[in-house]
Amino acid sequence: MGLEDQVAIVTGGGRAVGQVISRRLARDGANVVLIGPDERELHETAIEIQALGRRALAVVTDVSQEAQVNAMMERARQVFGRVNIVVNNAGIIGPTALAVDITRAEWDEVLAVNLTGAFLCCKAVAPEMMARRSGKIINIASMAGKMAYALRSPYAISKWGLIGLTLTLAKELGEYNIQVNAVCPGPVAGERMQRVIEQRARELGQSAEEVERGYIETAALKRMVQAEDVAALVAFLASAEADNITGQAIDVSAGYGI
């Protein structure tokens, strides 16, 4: 996608979909700043990126904490001089339960990471992008942000909010030639989705196999999404080929939720 000499921050970049996104951006030429809570995961992913001939910086950061986000952004600028791309991927799955049974602490934790964390990262990087009159912000939302998602209210609301943030920032930052978009995956095959399935199975009194089959059969293509599918769209949106795409929430869902 021609991302040579670009600098990309990927939150949650050391594991699961975030790790796949980080590797894809590096393969397309970007240097990557890896953000997350686990130093070992970040370090291992940084080694993989360096093996691709790109530079990598790992910064342990809690994206829900503004001071840590600001310090991370300053560190990225010290090392690379600028930030061209931000991928707000960090997120937690939260509880699986009826809304009336979810505690305030559970609600606050999910919103703090999934939505406030993205807001803080956007807030920290936007002035630099505005001054340079260029930049790409890509928020990893979800099909859960476009539909009713029973038993997952904090997660769903965080993703609805993230889409709202995306559209609002696209409007505010458009005059500065900054593109802001959201990627909305359907169920993504992997360990994280398996945990969602197992939690849902316990809550519904079903087997994990039944719940998994329900997700698959709901999708038009009768399959789950692969992390590489999400990364491919992120790479496209980060590239010059997407310079006239902004304010969009684009599905990568195998037809889930349509």
pLDDT above 70: percentage of residues in the chain: 100
The pLDDT, as a whole number, for residue 1 is 61
Per-residue pLDDT reduced to its tens digit, 77-134:
999 999 999 999 999 999 999 999 999 999 999 999 999 999 999 999 999 999 999 9
Half-sphere exposure of 92 (CA within 13 A, CB side): 19
What pLDDT does 258 receive? Answer: 87
Active site residue 149: no
Q: pLDDT of 67-86, one tens digit each?
A: 999 999 999 999 999 999 99
What confidence tens digit (pLDDT) does each residue in 133-169 have? 999 999 999 999 999 999 999 999 999 999 999 999 9
The CATH superfamily assigned to 7-252 is NAD(P)-binding Rossmann-like Domain (3.40.50.720)
For tokens 């919103």, what's the residue?
Answer: 111
Work out the average pLDDT over 246-251: 98
Residue 3 has pLDDT above 70, yes or no: yes
Q: Is the pLDDT of residue 172 over 70?
A: yes
Mean per-residue pLDDT over the chain, rounded: 97
Distance CA 256, CA 164 (A): 21
Cα end-to-end span (Å), the chain: 29
Q: pLDDT tens across 182-221, in order?
A: 999 999 999 999 999 999 999 999 999 999 999 999 999 9
Q: Where are the domains of the chain?
A: 7-252
- Single out the catalytic residue among 155, 176, 215, 256: 155
Q: What is the per-residue pLDDT across 27-52, written as a single tens digit (0 to 9) for each?
A: 999 999 999 999 999 999 999 999 99
